[in-house]
């Protein structure tokens, strides 16, 4: 999972540390504030369980047809 985190400049380091503690890897850091905001991308590697859940969700969404097809 990949998310962009945008935060006020004074909270940047705190938010980054919170994501690191939760197991995210930090990429694309933009610590210089633009209009008072900084950002970074937090990336979390998919676990085996996450991939299974994604596969099940994809299979379920593909199997939905028209009600007459049931």
| pLDDT score recorded for residue 28 | 96
Report the run of H or E that residue 18 belongs to, with start and end.
helix 12-21
Per-residue burial over 23-57, b if 16 or more Cβ lie within 10 Å, else e, is ebeeeeeeeeeeeeebbbbbeeeeeeeeeeeeeee
The residue among 64 and 37 whose pLDDT is bigger is: 37
Give the three-state DSSP class for 35: coil
| pLDDT score recorded for residue 70 | 52
* pTM of the predicted structure, to 2 decimals: 0.63
pLDDT tens-place string over residues 10-58 = 999 999 999 999 999 999 999 999 999 999 999 987 666 667 777 787 7
């Amino acid at each position: 999972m990949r998310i962009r985190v945008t935060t006020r400049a004074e909270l940047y380091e705190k938010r980054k540390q919170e994501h690191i503690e939760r197991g995210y890897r930090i990429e694309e850091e933009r610590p210089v504030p633009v209009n008072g905001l900084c950002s970074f991308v937090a990336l979390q590697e998919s676990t085996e369980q996450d991939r299974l859940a994604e596969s099940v969700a994809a299979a379920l969404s593909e199997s939905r047809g028209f009600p007459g097809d049931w």
